[in-house]
Amino acid sequence: MRKLLCTFLVGLSLFSAMVAAAPPEDIRQSGFVYCVNGAATTFNPQLVSGGLVVDTLAAQLYDRLLDVDPYTYRLIPELAASWETLDNGATYRFHLRHNVPFQKTAWFTPGRPMNADDVVFSFQRIFDRKSAWHGVNGGSYPYFDSLQFADSVASVKKLSSDTVEIRLNAPDASFLWHLATHYAPVLSAEYAAQLSKVDRQEQLDRQPVGTGPFKLSEYRTGQYIRLARHANYWKGMPRMPMVVIDMGAGGTGRLSKLLTGECDVLAYPAASQISVLRDDPRLRLTLRPGMNIAYLAFNTRKAPLDRAEVRQALALAINNERLMESVYYGTAETAASILPRASWAYDNNARVTEYNPQKSREMLKALGVEDLQLTLWVPATSQAWNPSPLKTAELIQADLAQVGVTVKIVPVEGRFQEARLMEMNHDLTLTGWATDSNDPDSFFRPLLSCAAIGSQTNFAHWCDAAFDETLQKALLSQQLASRIEYYGKAQAMLAQSLPVLPLAYSLRLQAYRHDIHSLVLSPFGNASFAGVYRDPRTKP
């Protein structure tokens, strides 16, 4: 796996050098600059568990069968004009839109519009382990692997040129929501066949081709990604010819670029920067509740953290209110459950873990836990759910020191974080999750199911058969009341065992220049830039 990943990263670096000849020129007349922390190790969201590719690029490069309305939180058609649910939720039939063109790029010229072959190819690659494409570039599909869809999908069939049927081994009430996430793009089967003929299959994920509003034009590793308008986009020509995703500065550097006009949009500004953003008449600020959770994961495979009583004692030592004041500055709510409060299955009886350092010390002593030394793995850059992970880690470090626990902070980044966490050498990790699905299953199974350990999204390494069975029962029912009951039980089980400590539900923040219009901030992830435009006549 590591060898394949390294080979892919080397290839991606070579590609970035090939397509990027010079840094972006001033594009104020033809586009805008979007500044964000992150890195791209692939351009295919099927292969990642989050980050820049899912949060920003997927909505520009690709479309999905279904979408989620950012205002009503309901499923809406995208590449599937309509769909049917059959067999009590075990079979799904999709009727595709006609004449949806793929992007014409420097490496591919499509010979036909999107059809059922593309949908079948895209999902067979993920779900069918026997597919020749399943193992290309590593064969890991973290989001869908955590849901065990390779075992639960019986077949993906083309019924006609515009009809696809996906049959499951058992009913799954969450299935449509998972297909509406950015992890489920529709790829070009024609492009894949062309690459197979020349034995260059790995390029499918490195040189993307989708039906989205923008196509890849240039890429320079760690600096920028230039996207060009897909002139034949099926929803109508995007208003801006070009978008540059600037990854070249972090923290205050990105804020400085926004203030000087080098950036037009600043994604995920730090909460401490809000006063500066609000006071500048040249800027606009958008805040929305987000479907996200920041949490502390205990490595339940290592002593003494394998004991729920120890995890409960450590949780009592963490001052969550101080985190809200010192890290989020009023842009988050203290979390009481792994589910965001906006979720329809949120347990209103859930309570935030008590802050009681005296009780924590007494419990640890009674449990025979003394002179405990722990390592805390922390993302080095801001996240959608946490604007300052390192500061959060330092506050947790100080809290635990008050009860006699020594914490060593280890900053890590990107895929290296995931790879090292799965070696199980860490004790704690500060992480989080955001999804573009309103179904509770998109939080529970990817983060805490037994299968999610192997797919590298369950950082707690916690596996409870009873918990997994409860989640499975929730999927078998099409009745909302029944599902809510099962998810209530699941939340109670987590509160008792505490493999992860929920910390915060963060607002989604986005700052932008006054002349940028129609920039949509979705609670589920960044939306398409197709409607964004610049009006220089707008006064600050």
CATH architecture, range 292-507: Roll (3.10)
Give which of 247, 237, 213, 239 is closest to 227, Cα–Cα: 213
Q: Find the farthest-apart pair of alpha carbons in the chain and give their distance in angstroms, rounded.
A: 71
Amino acid making up residue 477:
S
Token digits of residue 102: 């793929």
CATH number of 2-248: 3.90.76.10
The pLDDT of residue 447 is 95
Give which of 435, 416, 512 is closest to 39, Cα–Cα: 416
Amino acid making up residue 104:
K
Give which of 291, 353, 294, 335 is closest to 498, Cα–Cα: 353
Give the DSSP letter of residue 1: -
pLDDT tens, residue by residue, 54-69: 989 999 999 999 998 8
Q: What is the residue whose two structure tokens read 């109670």? A: 492
Give the DSSP letter of residue 161: T
The pLDDT of residue 14 is 39
The pLDDT of residue 537 is 80
Q: Tell me the pTM.
A: 0.83
Give which of 401, 499, 484 is closest to 447, Cα–Cα: 499
Boundaries of every domain in the chain: 2-248, 292-507
Backbone angles phi, psi at 130, to 5 degrees: -85, -10
Cβ partners under 8 Å of residue 472, min gap 6: none
Work out the angle between the directed axes of helices 480-497 and 465-476 (0-180°, nearest 10). 170
The pLDDT of residue 525 is 66
Q: What is the pLDDT along the chain (540 residues), one digit of tens a residue?
A: 434 444 444 444 434 444 443 444 567 678 999 999 888 889 999 999 888 899 899 999 999 999 988 778 789 999 999 999 999 999 999 999 999 999 999 999 999 999 999 999 999 999 999 999 999 999 999 999 988 888 999 999 999 999 999 999 999 999 999 999 999 999 999 999 999 999 999 999 999 999 999 999 999 988 999 999 999 999 999 999 999 999 876 656 888 999 999 999 998 888 888 888 989 999 999 888 888 999 999 999 999 999 999 999 999 999 999 999 999 988 899 999 999 988 899 999 999 999 999 999 999 999 999 999 999 999 888 787 888 899 999 999 999 999 999 999 999 875 545 555 556 578 999 999 988 788 999 999 999 999 999 888 899 999 999 999 999 999 998 898 999 999 999 999 999 999 999 999 998 889 999 999 999 887 776 689 999 999 888 777
